[in-house]
Amino acid sequence: MRRDPRAYLWDAREAARRVAEFVKDANEEDYVASDLMRSAVERQLEILGEALGQLEKANPEVARQIPQLRAAVDLRNLLIHGYAKIDDRIIWNTATTDVPVMARELDSLLRQLDG
């Protein structure tokens, strides 16, 4: 049985929201200094990328509507397989700049699919 593509979108959106919640009262220095915050953000970025990767397989037509899908999947792969190459400052910028935009895009897409 195929999973509804909205479930992947929901998982991705929730991961993006969690990232935003984790970093909302922090600055870059706080982020770099906190093993806990970095681990939490990285885990949610892994979930975000995995959900979008699965969406791409399950429903390429819906996946094509997410401009940063490939970047999210690639980041997930880096976090999982290239952990020694992770640059905390790049992850911070992604979490504070790219992820909020993606969360809005995912919200919009979910509303379209529900409507």
pLDDT at residue number 115: 74
Q: Can 81 be counted among the known catalytic residues?
A: yes
Sign of the Cα pseudo-torsion (72, 75, 79, 80, in order) = positive
* Choice among 70, 76, 89, 104 that is catalytic: 76
pLDDT digits (tens, 9 = 90+) for 25-76: 999 999 999 999 999 999 999 999 999 999 999 999 999 999 999 999 999 9
CA 50 to chain CA centroid, Å, is 8
* Choice among 18, 70, 81, 111 that is catalytic: 81
Q: Can 6 be counted among the known catalytic residues?
A: no
